[in-house]
Structure 1
Amino acid sequence: MLSRVAVLSDIHGVLPALEAVLDEPEVRAADRIVLTGDIAAGPQPTQVLDLLTGLGERVVWISGNADRELLEHRRGRRDAVPDPIAPWAAERLRGDHLDLLARLPRSLVLTLRGMGKVLFCHATPRDDEEVVLVDSRLDRWQDVFGDLDADIRTVVLGHTHMPFVRLAHGRLVVNPGSVGMPYGRTGAHWALLGPGVELRTTNFDVEAAVARVTRDSDYPGITEWADYFLRARATDADALTAFGPRDGRTDTA
């Protein structure tokens, strides 16, 4: 049984943010580092994947929609990818990177001391693109979690890049936020689990990170990309407005 797990979600190929989180004492001491998807679709995809694979079995990998899209693009199963940086990132992956992404599960369950069975996924347990938010309605959560076993009392997910913890029909829901593409405020956001839940933010030198990513990545739009995402230009209100219609709500809901 595991005692402590660090959860890193939505790294999106940002090496300085990932390095900052991995240097946290609690992350170094954790039994496992769980990645809840969208790992490589960003400006430094190969560097991020190589750093994480070098950590060996301490890292537990889960696929996100962006990881799936990278693989599908490179293997000719899709022409268009919604994220403009994704096709560029996909072309930089080596064969071993593609094989790794192809093996990743969509979800998994770990048993943590004091928490019991915890399910980890990217967006929801049933879909890697589905949207749930901190203010999603209870009937929405009932629909999304309807097929889960009753003994799974905690679900950890990512996808929307905004950290929160809430109860939904007695089940704890945790979103650690995004390591590499935060919405609402700067910093690399992650979570520490066991025996409770802590939402954490690792602050790092954003200006230095912007300069480094801009220097090291040859993505054509890297200057604008780094300025927008590393400086968290999108507010939490912007993100909730954009994501809200995708969680099934209506104007009267």
Structure 2
Amino acid sequence: MKHAIISDIHGNLEALESVLSEIARRKVDSVLCLGDVVGYGPNPNECVALIMEKAEVILAGNHDYAPLGKIDLSYFNPWARSAIEWTRAELNESSIEFLLDLPLKIEIDGFTIVHSTPFRPADWNYIITIGDAVKNFPEFRSRVCFIGHSHVPMIVSLSEEEDCRVVKENPLKIKTGVRYIINVGSVGQPRDLNPLASFGIYDVRKNEYELCRVEYDVAKTQQKIKETSLPDFLAERLELGQ
């Protein structure tokens, strides 16, 4: 099967629509969402409704749980807290009911998906360094684990000889005897200094993964944010990819 794997939409409807359009063009078999459908962006309910329609599997991210009171807001920085409080007031009953029951981690078609980390996903820790990855490889059984959360695309491999390294290859051939943790980046708020929306496509039959980037109407999303009480920085950062 061929899976599109998306994460960290963050209420950015323009980015989500552009990504879904590209996914449709790629003719995948399923769409898997790793969470953070809402938070930061101006269209939480619209993004929830669209992802409910288009995705076969949807996981919870910290920004999905936080507006529902399932995470202490002291965990978040001031911009994030402000966005969570705004999102909480905006969510309709359908969105709330949907977000309440999202799972944290699953295995599907021979690989693992989780928003944050395979180890204790509800702690909302990050995999940013090789050291972080080394601690998490023992926490899943499959060859490949897909994550989001940091908004930065990244691939870390672990060989049978315990050689752990960052991999830059794209597309990536999934090699026999090697395990991988793959961050698919962010649809709605990339932070790798590239403002293009990010997602991944994993072809299980071909053992191949590709990181994909697509343009979207950043200015339109920025204008929507500025028309709300959300912090202006959340609009400004979109064109910078940070």
TM-score, structure 1 as length reference: 0.77
Deviation per residue, 1:107-132 (Å, 9 max, x gap): 11111xxxxx1100001112241111
Counterpart CA distance in 2 for 1:107 and 1:68 is 14
Q: How far apart are residue 143 of structure 1 and its match?
A: 2.4
Structure 1: segments with no counterpart, 5+ residues = 112-116, 235-253
Is 1:13–2:11 an aligned residue pair? yes
Q: How far apart are residue 212 of structure 1 and its match?
A: 4.4
Pairs aligned (count): 213
1:63 corresponds in structure 2 to 60
Q: How far apart are residue 68 of structure 1 and its match?
A: 1.4
2:168 corresponds in structure 1 to none
2:140 corresponds in structure 1 to 148
1:61·1:104 contact (CA, 8 Å) conserved in 2? Answer: yes
2:184 corresponds in structure 1 to 176
Match of 2:201 among 192, 215, 228: 192
Instruction: State the one-letter code of the partner of 1:17.
Output: A
Match of 1:210 among 180, 198, 222: 222
2:125 corresponds in structure 1 to 130
> Where in structure 1 do 4 or more consecutive aligned residues deviate above 6 Å?
none
Instruction: State the one-letter code of the partner of 2:152.
Output: M
Q: How far apart are residue 104 of structure 1 and its match?
A: 0.7
Is 1:121–2:114 an aligned residue pair? yes
Counterpart CA distance in 1 for 2:139 and 2:72 is 30
Is the partner of 1:54 in helix, strand or coil? Answer: helix
Is 1:96–2:94 an aligned residue pair? yes
Is the partner of 2:200 in helix, strand or coil? Answer: strand
Counterpart CA distance in 2 for 1:124 and 1:174 is 11
Counterpart CA distance in 1 for 2:52 and 2:75 is 25
Counterpart CA distance in 1 for 2:63 and 2:230 is 19
Is the partner of 2:138 in helix, strand or coil? Answer: coil
Counterpart CA distance in 2 for 1:27 and 1:98 is 31
2:66·2:73 contact (CA, 8 Å) conserved in 1? Answer: no
Counterpart CA distance in 2 for 1:66 and 1:25 is 24
Instruction: State the one-letter code of the partner of 1:10.
Output: D
Counterpart CA distance in 1 for 2:88 and 2:25 is 28
Structure 2: segments with no counterpart, 5+ residues = 160-177
1:179·1:189 contact (CA, 8 Å) conserved in 2? Answer: yes
1:114 corresponds in structure 2 to none
Deviation per residue, 1:2-32 (Å, 9 max, x gap): x111111111111100011011155662211
**Percent sequence identity over aligned pairs:** 25
1:72 corresponds in structure 2 to 69
Q: Which segment is superposed worse, 3-12 or 42-51?
A: 42-51
Is the partner of 1:101 in helix, strand or coil? Answer: helix
Q: How far apart are residue 163 of structure 1 and its match?
A: 0.7
Q: How far apart are residue 141 of structure 1 and its match?
A: 2.8
Counterpart CA distance in 1 for 2:75 and 2:95 is 18
1:52 corresponds in structure 2 to 51
Counterpart CA distance in 1 for 2:134 and 2:221 is 41
1:6·1:27 contact (CA, 8 Å) conserved in 2? Answer: no
Is the partner of 2:139 in helix, strand or coil? Answer: coil
> Relative to structure 1, is the Cα distance of residues 92 and 45 closer, same or farther in structure 2, using a 3 angstrom cutoff?
same
